[in-house]
Amino acid sequence: MDMQVAKKKLGLKEKYQVMTRGLDWEPSYQKKEDIYPYASYEGIKIHDWDKWEDPFRLTMDAYWKYQAEKERKLYAIIDAYAQNNGHLSVTDARYINTVKLFLTGVSPLEYMAHRGFAHAGRAFPGAGPRVACLMQSLDEIRHAQTQIHALSNYNKHYNGLHDFRHMHDRVWYLSVPKSFFDDAVTAGPFEFLVSIGFSFEYVLTNLLFVPFVSGAAYNGDMGTMTFGFSAQSDEARHMTLGLEVIKFILEQDPDNLPIVQRWIDKWTWRGYRVLTLVAMMMDYMLPKRTMSWKEAWEVYFEENGGALFKDLARYGIKMPKCAETIALEKDHLSHQAWATFYNYGAAAAFHTWVPEKEEMDWLSAKYPESFDKYYRPRLEYWREQAAKGNRFYNKTLPMLCQTCQIPMLFTEPGDPTKICYREVDYKGSKYHFCSDHCKEIFEHEPEKYVQSWLPVHQIYQGNCFPEGTDPTVEGFDPLAAVLQYYHLEFGRDNLDFEGSEDQKNFDAWRGQATKNV
């Protein structure tokens, strides 16, 4: 009698084949171009979708298994951190302002990335990239959820974290990360993948998830460190997807090269401008510092990114032109950014301050060419005035860049004493830019950016007051009305750290935790 032999289990490669390509089909009663209307209009030519190889061959069943394991660990640590009053073990309450900025500025981007990858995945006629995009879309919504959970511990105790979703669509500085992602998700699916999958994930997010998250650990924030490292293990897969996409597109047709190069140039610059927030978080907002923004840029962009672009040279891809401008800005970026938030500290959902003397000495050592000459005198003047009860709050609204939407705070490449002004006349109207790169991005697609929702202009048009506000009544206070529209409570969520409720509560609670009073 013949023995029944159990059928051999499928190998990883076969299983992936069956669970992805095997589920695809050729349409018979609809035209393929009607099902995939976004597949060709960007000019990208794909001749053989089956050439796409998913580098991780991840299937849904494996995804649940790995991620559930990671989530259990993550939430165990977050729970332990919450139950142990971990918020009192951070270096000092100034640190919590980085968490506020992260939750309001970055976490909504994870959610938008989820939507973007879901949309891009639906748009591709090939089964391989569709599945890879689906997996990344799931990762991104998990990242949004875990970040909100990790950071919500702080919301129980500190101000400014109460309404991040509402703020994301309204608050002036949050228009910078918001416009970045709105620009990406309203592009075609190929541009979206190059913008987020490659330029942002591969080239730039290391700067957020490695040195900044290490900074969280250095400052005693185990919750943030844990979600950061949990996300970073997915980022490795995202980065590989981003790189594979570029290689796949470039190998399909030589006509794709100039389109991809332009996208890389554009999105490296747009992503870098968003990272302005990270530069000041590292240099000014972490009470215990790990490395300077400049050092992080040198390691994660100039060295790592440089090696990547050398690798891509065989496809004809060149280092983005903006890298030269960025090299000139790295000595100045964090100082100029922090000065801007110090200026507008009455309209931010977090606190600002002048660094302590030893912090200035640290900055001076890290930035010997620029800090003492250009930035220390300004900060010391502000400190002297604040001590006299004359803390500087800039009450006039700034001019913004039409593309990146950041106030025109950046200086001429090579001259940190002169604001960089660029302008374009388009269809009888003037548009202004902070740099040659933002100007070029506008000039390539002006129709897209003439619609920019610039917070300052919207305020002046009367669109940023609570419903029913009458700005013509006597004694109308526009700033108060704008802060109400933001859901930002004056005197609690904003103004200087010195004297804030956060500062007082943290000191009192830490006192209770460490002393018998």
Partner 1 sequence: MAIAAIGKYEFAPADALDKFHGAQLLYIGWEDHLLFCAPFAFPFPPTMPFRAIVEQVLPGSFGYHPDFARIDWAKAEWFKSGKPWQPDFDKSLADNGLKHKDVIRFRTPGLTGIAGSCS
Instruction: Give, as ranges, the residues between 413 and 442 that touch partner 1 (CB under 8 A).
Output: 416-419, 421, 423, 427, 429-432
According to the binding rule CB under 8 A, does residue 453 interact with partner 1? yes
Measured between alpha carbons, how far is 324 from 345 in angstroms, rounded to an integer? 31
Burial level of 303, CB count in 10 A (0-12/13-18/19+)?
exposed
Angle between helices 175-185 and 107-123 (to 10 degrees): 10
- For the bound state, the minimum distance from the C-beta of residue 159 to partner 1, rounded and expressed in Å, comes to 24
| 342-371 footprint of partner 1 as x/- string (CB under 8 A) | -xx---------------------------
Contacts of 438 (CB under 8 A, 6+ apart): 269, 273, 401, 402, 403, 404, 422
- For the bound state, the minimum distance from the C-beta of residue 465 to partner 1, rounded and expressed in Å, comes to 13
Residue in the structure block whose two tokens are 């703020």: 167
- For the bound state, the minimum distance from the C-beta of residue 387 to partner 1, rounded and expressed in Å, comes to 15
Of 208, 387, 370, residue with least CA distance to 280 = 208
Instruction: Give, as ranges, the residues between 234 and 263 that touch partner 1 (CB under 8 A).
Output: none
According to the binding rule CB under 8 A, does residue 182 interact with partner 1? no
According to the binding rule CB under 8 A, does residue 516 interact with partner 1? no
- For the bound state, the minimum distance from the C-beta of residue 172 to partner 1, rounded and expressed in Å, comes to 12
Of 283, 494, 486, 465, residue with least CA distance to 375 = 283
- For the bound state, the minimum distance from the C-beta of residue 428 to partner 1, rounded and expressed in Å, comes to 9
475: tokens are 């004694």
- For the bound state, the minimum distance from the C-beta of residue 16 to partner 1, rounded and expressed in Å, comes to 32
Q: Total residues at the site for partner 1 (CB under 8 A)?
A: 56
Measured between alpha carbons, how far is 215 from 256 in angstroms, rounded to an integer? 40
Phi, psi of 304 (to 5 degrees): -65, -50
According to the binding rule CB under 8 A, does residue 445 interact with partner 1? yes
| 134-173 footprint of partner 1 as x/- string (CB under 8 A) | ----------------------------------------
According to the binding rule CB under 8 A, does residue 4 interact with partner 1? no
> Where is 166: in which H helix or E strand?
helix 164-168
Binder of partner 1 out of 195, 219, 325, 336 (CB under 8 A): 336
According to the binding rule CB under 8 A, does residue 378 interact with partner 1? yes
Measured between alpha carbons, how far is 256 from 250 in angstroms, rounded to an integer? 6
- For the bound state, the minimum distance from the C-beta of residue 399 to partner 1, rounded and expressed in Å, comes to 4
253: tokens are 């047709």
According to the binding rule CB under 8 A, does residue 264 interact with partner 1? no
| 387-406 footprint of partner 1 as x/- string (CB under 8 A) | -----x-xxxxxxx------
According to the binding rule CB under 8 A, does residue 408 interact with partner 1? yes
Binder of partner 1 out of 48, 53, 310, 460 (CB under 8 A): 460
Report yes or no: 155 and 99 within 8 Å, Cβ to Cβ: no
Measured between alpha carbons, how far is 116 from 307 in angstroms, rounded to an integer? 28
Report yes or no: 212 and 231 within 8 Å, Cβ to Cβ: no
Q: Name the residues that contact partner 1, by CB under 8 A.
A: 37-38, 41-43, 188, 336, 339-340, 343-344, 373-375, 377-378, 381, 392, 394-400, 407-409, 411, 416-419, 421, 423, 427, 429-432, 444-448, 450-454, 456-458, 460-462
